[in-house]
Amino acid sequence: MDDSLPRPLIKNIAFFGDANIPEQDPVYKDAYEVAKVLGAHRYTIVNGGGPGVMNAATQRAEAGGGETLSVTFKPKNAPGFEGRYIGNITDKEIKTTNYIDRMFKLLEHADMFIIFKGGSGTISEFGTAWVLAKIYYGHHKPFILYGAYWAEIIEVIKKYLNIDRQELDVFEIVTRREDVLPTIEKFEKKMQEIKLEDGKK
C-alpha cells in the first residue's frame, strides 16, 4: 500500500432493501450486480442477514472477493419481521436483541449506505440515515438511493415536507449499476476534502 495515499474513509457499505423479493426481480438482480462490483473493489458489504436484497448483497460480494458483515436479531413476538435467513452466511455476524438495536448497529458499522426499493423497514432505515446525515452534516455518512422511482419520491417529500438544501446534499439518486462506483468515489473525495480542511483548523 502506498503510504502517501490517504486511508479510505468509505470501507463498509450497507445495503438496505426489500427482504421479500425473489431472485428474478430486477431489484434483486441490481443489488446482486452492484455488490459484485463493490466486492471486487474490496469494499465490505454490510446487511441485515435476511433474504431478498440482503442475501443478494452477501452472495455476490463474496463471489467478487469482498468481505461481508451481517447484523441480525432473532425475532420474538414479531411476525412481521423476516428474521435471519439461513442462506445468508456472512464472514462476520453481529447479533442484537431487537429491531431498533439491529438498525442502529447497521448504521454504525457502515460508512455509507445504498438504499434499494423496499417496504416500511427500508423507509425506517432511509429516514434514520437521512436525519443522522443532517445532524452530523459535514461529517455525515452519505447514501445512494438506487432506482429511478426515488426521484419522484424525493420530489413529493420536498413538495409537502420541510426539507432544506443540506438535506438534499447528503445523497445521490443512481439509476444505473455502472454509476454506483463513481458515485462512491465522488463521496470519498468530498469526505477527504472535509477531513483535510478540518486538519488545517
Q: How far is CA 97 from CA 35, 69, 75, in A?
A: 27, 17, 8
Angle at 94 between CA 61 and CA 187, to 5 degrees: 50
Residue 1's pLDDT is 45
Which residues, given as ranges, of the chain have pLDDT below 50? 1
Residue 6, in any domain of the structure: no
Full residue range of the structural domain in which residue 83 is found:
12-200
- Angle at which helix 99-108 crosses helix 120-135, to 10 degrees, equals 50
Residue 82's pLDDT is 64
Residue 99, in any domain of the structure: yes
Residue 156, in any domain of the structure: yes
Residue 7, in any domain of the structure: no
Closest CA to 169 of 150, 195, 143: 143
pTM: 0.92
Residue 36, in any domain of the structure: yes
CATH number of the domain that 142 lies in? 3.40.50.450
Residue 123, in any domain of the structure: yes
Residue 1, in any domain of the structure: no
pLDDT digits (tens, 9 = 90+) for 29-54: 999 999 999 999 999 999 999 999 99
Residue 2, in any domain of the structure: no
High-pLDDT (> 70) share of the chain, %: 93
Domains in the chain, number: 1
